[in-house]
Structure 1
Amino acid sequence: MKKTGQATINDVARLAGVSKKTVSRVINRSPLLNDETRDRVEKVIAEIGYVPNPQARALALRRNFLIGLIHDNPNPHMVLNVQQGLLEVLRDTEFELIVHPVDRGAPTMLDDIKRFVERQRPFGVMLLPPISDNDSLAALCRDNGVRYVRMGSAQFDEPLHMVASNDREVVCSAVGHLIEAGHRRIGLVLGPHGFRSALERRRGYEDALDRADITLQRTLVAQGDYTFESGMRAAERLLDLSPRPTAVFCSNDAMAAGVLHTARQRGLDVPRDLSIVGFDDTSIASHLWPPLTTVRWPIATMARAAALKLIGEDDEDSGESLFVSTLIRRASVAAPLE
């Protein structure tokens, strides 16, 4: 029997014997509930005809039910995977995703994001690298009462505000894989200046050399910017060396593809003459020939965790904040000829 009059969330909570917070979690499809509680609340909602009013809730909260994705990232694969992860969580909830690209090089970036926050009044925002490294941006979110989660290659904020990967550790393992195969002259193609990911991946490379008692040679380190073309340019410099490296670790797959292309242009066989390892495990990694040994970065998983942090009810339910990347071994690594 349905209740007459307009049912409220208080009615649902009272009849189901739960808190308003629990009812809200049911409405937003939170995974933090057991099936018995979810079923009981949903049964009461159906019986009394309760319909959530997002406009009224937004007015009360002084926030819209929007989750903002703010980024300035040259990697479209990463952005698309983050969107996929966020949407998987937001689907069937009251929340919608809004994407806001910015120019990190513009002196007005913070003002632009402040206008976005004031105009859209998002419930929360996810910040992608490299702008997620910016502490001033995190402070802007706090000052405006907006929830935020930062994605990064290391943990540099409280768990509630962070989803991080173990880049330094996993790159150490990836370069260690090359060392175990017998390589001693291992090149490194760096990521862009100012990217925390580039720094963490360089540190992982240096850690691996240090553990193997291999002297770091600066000539074996080439600058890149996460693009295919920069990988080609880096390979030109590294392969001009005498003796040249027998292996190269690239800080992302796009640059690894560029190194492979240049090696092929020079008549080198991969992996017989040159072993190559990338980072990301984008679709290009398995489509290259030979298929690329690379690090699988759990981007979508991190994005799903970020969404749960943003729409969760309790600060203490911050969820996981560190996500482990893994080395995917394919056919681009072999023992050196020498």
Structure 2
Amino acid sequence: MNQEKITINDIARLAGVSKRTVSRVINQSPKVGEQTKIKVEKIIEQYNYVPDKQARGLASSRSYLLGLVYDNPDALYIDDIQRGILEFCSQKGYELVVHPCRYKSPDLNNNVVNFVRRSKLDGIVLLPPASEVDSLADVLDQNSIPYVRLVSGFSEASENFVMSNDRHAAAEMAKYITSLNHQKIAMITGPLNYRSSRERFEGFSNTMQEMGQPLAADLVVEGTNQYESGIEQGRHLLTLENRPTAIFANNDEMASGVIKAAHDLGIKIPDELSVCGFDDNLLASRIIPALTTIKRPVREMAKFAANKLIAKIEGGNPQAISQNCVVHPEIVIRESAGSANKV
């Protein structure tokens, strides 16, 4: 049989069931017996059958479209999120529509609801900082729009969240940098109105305080999470009279900017300066020297979000909806950090 032209009627004939039964299996209806469901799914997999999305949508009153809402300047992070969602949702026959927004806009809530309605979306994934806006979540609830929020930190409402323990990871980075005998340690935070930035800053600074090495006020500066901000704030820190010997940046984009600033100033890494980041995006392992950073499993988070969102939309997998999805970022040691004894 020509697999490229196989139809739902062919699947029904091969399985010895009705077309309606095949449609119910595809749409994960609870009205199909387990043995029949397994039999039909095996044939679908064997022949690599992909349901026609338009026909599916008409049959189930769904569009099989998910939305991704973000206000984040880190293009590599956004790309990783998209790839993670698509890896999961393409197996389920869903497509992804992306929508940049301005999370500080007074029209954010209406903008997102209109995007969902205009694009006829079945549900949306919210990325920080838009995911941190509680009033947006309230409006989505009021309009019965399924959503999942990616956030740093924790929430009791696990059905709506995929969470990353950034605070603990930043604390571990503080311990690692001090283990290298650095005394003059600086941090370039992200925008502190972002929850993720606050989680990382507080995890790092509180741990430094607990270890008896509180961060000096003049060695904490706020960045924008962009590469250019890393250059600007890195140059500022590195031209101080009592410049730091180690800098922890809120993300890899800014850490890379710090490395650029150090290079321009003739400061050798890691001999004269240690630089560390957060995210472990594609850039981190490719710059010279390769960046010591915190690896956050972004694609894993994206897959968790897609699984939870589709479960909410289809209503057939309560365990996926209620699953407490928390990831734990870990330090990746590379060449950009070294002992302060060299300085």
**Which of 308, 318, 325 is the equivalent residue of 1:315?**
318
After superposition, the CA RMSD in angstroms is 2.9
SS at 1:119 equivalent:
helix
Asked if 1:20 corresponds to 2:29, the answer is: yes
User: How many angstroms does 1:250 deviate by?
Assistant: 0.4
Q: Using the alignment, how far apart are the partners of 2:337 and 2:93 within structure 1? A: 48
Alpha carbons of 1:184 and 1:95: their partners in 2 closer, same or farther (altered >3 Å)?
same
Q: Using the alignment, how far apart are the partners of 1:277 and 1:230 within structure 2? A: 15
TM-score, normalised relative to structure 1: 0.85
**Aligned residue-pair number:** 320
1:278-323 alpha-carbon deviations (Å, 9 max, x no partner): 1111222112221110011111110011111111223333334101
Alpha carbons of 1:61 and 1:116: their partners in 2 closer, same or farther (altered >3 Å)?
farther
Residue 32 of structure 1 is matched in structure 2 by: none
User: How many angstroms does 1:63 deviate by?
Assistant: 3.7
Q: Using the alignment, how far apart are the partners of 2:176 and 2:335 within structure 1? A: 13
Q: Using the alignment, how far apart are the partners of 1:52 and 1:242 within structure 2? A: 66
Q: Which amino acid aligns with 2:326?
A: L
- 1:279-298 matches, cutoff 5 A: 279-298=278-297
Alpha carbons of 1:96 and 1:51: their partners in 2 closer, same or farther (altered >3 Å)?
closer
Residue 5 of structure 2 is matched in structure 1 by: none
Q: Which amino acid aligns with 1:20?
A: S
Q: Using the alignment, how far apart are the partners of 1:12 and 1:309 within structure 2? A: 20
Deviates more, 1:59-68 or 1:90-99: 59-68
Alpha carbons of 1:290 and 1:11: their partners in 2 closer, same or farther (altered >3 Å)?
closer
Alpha carbons of 1:57 and 1:247: their partners in 2 closer, same or farther (altered >3 Å)?
same
Asked if 1:333 corresponds to 2:337, the answer is: yes
Which aligned segments of 4 or more residues in structure 1 are displaced greater than 4 angstroms? 3-6, 10-13, 43-46, 50-62
User: How many angstroms does 1:54 deviate by?
Assistant: 5.7
Q: Using the alignment, how far apart are the partners of 2:226 and 2:41 within structure 1? A: 49
User: How many angstroms does 1:57 deviate by?
Assistant: 6.1
Q: Using the alignment, how far apart are the partners of 1:146 and 1:218 within structure 2? A: 44
Deviates more, 1:54-63 or 1:271-280: 54-63
Q: Using the alignment, how far apart are the partners of 1:5 and 1:239 within structure 2? A: 72
Alpha carbons of 1:308 and 1:51: their partners in 2 closer, same or farther (altered >3 Å)?
closer
User: How many angstroms does 1:22 deviate by?
Assistant: 8.1
Identical-pair percentage: 34
Alpha carbons of 1:20 and 1:270: their partners in 2 closer, same or farther (altered >3 Å)?
same
Alpha carbons of 1:83 and 1:20: their partners in 2 closer, same or farther (altered >3 Å)?
same
Unaligned runs of 5+ in 2: 1-11
Q: Using the alignment, how far apart are the partners of 1:327 and 1:231 within structure 2? A: 20
Asked if 1:256 corresponds to 2:241, the answer is: no
SS at 2:285 equivalent:
helix
CA contact (8 A) 2:231 2:260 kept: yes
Deviates more, 1:143-152 or 1:237-246: 237-246
Q: Which amino acid aligns with 1:218?
A: A
Asked if 1:7 corresponds to 2:19, the answer is: yes
User: How many angstroms does 1:107 deviate by?
Assistant: 2.2
Alpha carbons of 1:120 and 1:186: their partners in 2 closer, same or farther (altered >3 Å)?
same
Alpha carbons of 1:208 and 1:9: their partners in 2 closer, same or farther (altered >3 Å)?
same
Unaligned runs of 5+ in 1: 14-18, 27-35
TM-score, normalised relative to structure 2: 0.84
Alpha carbons of 1:186 and 1:57: their partners in 2 closer, same or farther (altered >3 Å)?
same
Alpha carbons of 1:43 and 1:276: their partners in 2 closer, same or farther (altered >3 Å)?
closer
Q: Using the alignment, how far apart are the partners of 1:206 and 1:118 within structure 2? A: 43
Residue 76 of structure 1 is matched in structure 2 by: 75
Q: Which amino acid aligns with 1:330?
A: R
